[in-house]
Amino acid sequence: MTKYVHHDLKIDPTPEEAARQAFMSSMRLYVLHDMANGMRTVYENAVEPDFKRKNRRAPKDGVEVHRALKNDTTFKFYSSMRCNVQEMVFRSILPTVERNQDALNKKAKTLSRSKKAKGSVQTDPNFEVPRSVAAIDVHLMPGNYDTEYGPDDVTQGAVYDNGISVFSMGFFGDNLDDIGSSISLFIKNRYPKFKPARILDMGCTIGHNTVPWAKTYPKAEVHAIDVGGPVVRYGNARAQSEGVSVHFHQQNAEETTFEDESFDLIFSSMFLHEVPKKGIKKVFKEARRLLKPGGLMLHMELPPNKMLGPYDQFYLDWDSYYNKEPFYKLFRDADPRAVCAEAGFAKSKFVQYIIPSLGQYGEKAVKDSVKQQTGKADDQTGRFAAGIHWYCFGAWK
């Protein structure tokens, strides 16, 4: 099996495939840790002093840092190797998925009918996948979330699940659910009286961060939506195999079919940065429409640029330029508080949290963080390195 895929849809790589996958996790660690630290050293010791000499001031933002670093050899090797690592992660798992494609589709069908859990999945053969997904291979993943290789296909769900297993280097936890697990535990402790009866996860992909909400609030009815048919089919089978009931739907978060004021909690993780600016406005308005009065909207994302210094802005914006995530920077340049207010949420109801990773710090640290919120991001926020923290923001209705 791929290292962090343990459920019933796990697939067995050959020894050579397993070695390629393990190598890619190590290689990613080298690029994102050793090379990234090296690039910062080069910036601080050579590039920034040179910029200051020429301009009599330090770079004011990430764009200026990017421009100053762009011609440096270390930046070029870091960037070139990071692109290659990203593509090679997916290429390391594709042969395993391809060999098991028929078995995966069959298994997913069986699991979706199993009585282990009471989840469901609805896909629409006439569904129009938005251009922001249909036209690009987001984060260099061949086939993206939506490519259908046949009827009732789950292939791209398996590509994503096994891909992030290699990609995450363990930072998404043993079940790739650390974001959902950490944040749901935090919310339960931060708001002990808040007991959501209906929860919606927007842009859920394979539901790996949806399942923790269903586990944290076992009495809640949990729904999850994504524009990719293969990922919601796979997500349903994945949740069923874990014995967790989640209702998956192939729907666009910009305009859903759910009734007004029908959810108590609306969540998303690593979703908004893949949506164009116009789409984000619609998503927030839709979330407001769907929330019951007193309900909570919460989005996990990388921290906004205004919380970071120029170098960290550049570092996190890198994906927007080179990782086929073109909307990333536009989203991170926006002010989360203003985006919520624009959709009609009261400014006084805005919330934002920086939450320690449950997998890395443990339950006590997550609970303790309820009383230790400073509102300030550090260089561990959202970065794939030891000691990661998750940033989330949103508003109460």
Partner 1 sequence: MTSASDGKKPLRYSVRGKQSQFFSAEGVDELVSITMALAQELWVVKERLAAYESLATKKKLFTQKELDGLKVTPAQRAKMDAESQAFIDRIFFVLRERVEGLAADPDEPAPPKEP
Chain positions contacting partner 1, by CB under 8 A: 14-16, 18-20, 22-27, 29-30, 34-35, 38, 41-42, 45-46, 73-77, 79-81, 83-85, 87-88, 91-92, 94-95, 97-99, 101, 136-137, 140-143, 147, 149-150, 155, 159, 321-322, 324
Nearest 5°: phi and psi at 291? -75, 140
Comparing CB distances to partner 1, the nearer of 139 and 389 is 139
Comparing CB distances to partner 1, the nearer of 44 and 335 is 44
* CB 32 to partner 1: min, Å: 12
Please tell me the distance from the alpha carbon of residue 125 to that of residue 86, in angstroms, as a whole number.
31
Q: Which helix (H) or strand (E) is 29 found in, with range?
A: helix 15-29
* CB 185 to partner 1: min, Å: 26
Comparing CB distances to partner 1, the nearer of 137 and 261 is 137
Comparing CB distances to partner 1, the nearer of 142 and 243 is 142
E strands, 312-349, are none
Comparing CB distances to partner 1, the nearer of 134 and 370 is 134
* CB 134 to partner 1: min, Å: 10
Q: Count CB-CB contacts under 10 A for residue 278.
A: 10
* CB 208 to partner 1: min, Å: 21
Give the burial class of 214: count Cβ atoms within 10 A of its Cβ; 0-12 exposed, 13-18 middle, 19 or more buried: buried
Q: Count CB-CB contacts under 10 A for residue 205.
A: 27
CB-CB contact of 112 with 236 (8 Å): yes
* CB 232 to partner 1: min, Å: 19
Please tell me the distance from the alpha carbon of residue 137 to that of residue 65, in angstroms, as a whole number.
27
Q: What Å distances lie between residue 23 and 18, 92, 139, 142, 181, CA to CA?
A: 8, 9, 20, 20, 28
Strand-pair partners of 266:
200, 297
Comparing CB distances to partner 1, the nearer of 13 and 336 is 13
* CB 283 to partner 1: min, Å: 25
Closest CA to 174 of 4, 387, 375: 4
Please tell me the distance from the alpha carbon of residue 390 to that of residue 184, in angstroms, as a whole number.
12
Q: For 394, which DSSP code?
A: E
Q: Which amino acid, residue 327?
A: F
Comparing CB distances to partner 1, the nearer of 131 and 195 is 131
Please tell me the distance from the alpha carbon of residue 205 to that of residue 104, in angstroms, as a whole number.
17
Comparing CB distances to partner 1, the nearer of 45 and 55 is 45
* CB 24 to partner 1: min, Å: 7
* CB 359 to partner 1: min, Å: 16
Give the burial class of 346: count Cβ atoms within 10 A of its Cβ; 0-12 exposed, 13-18 middle, 19 or more buried: exposed
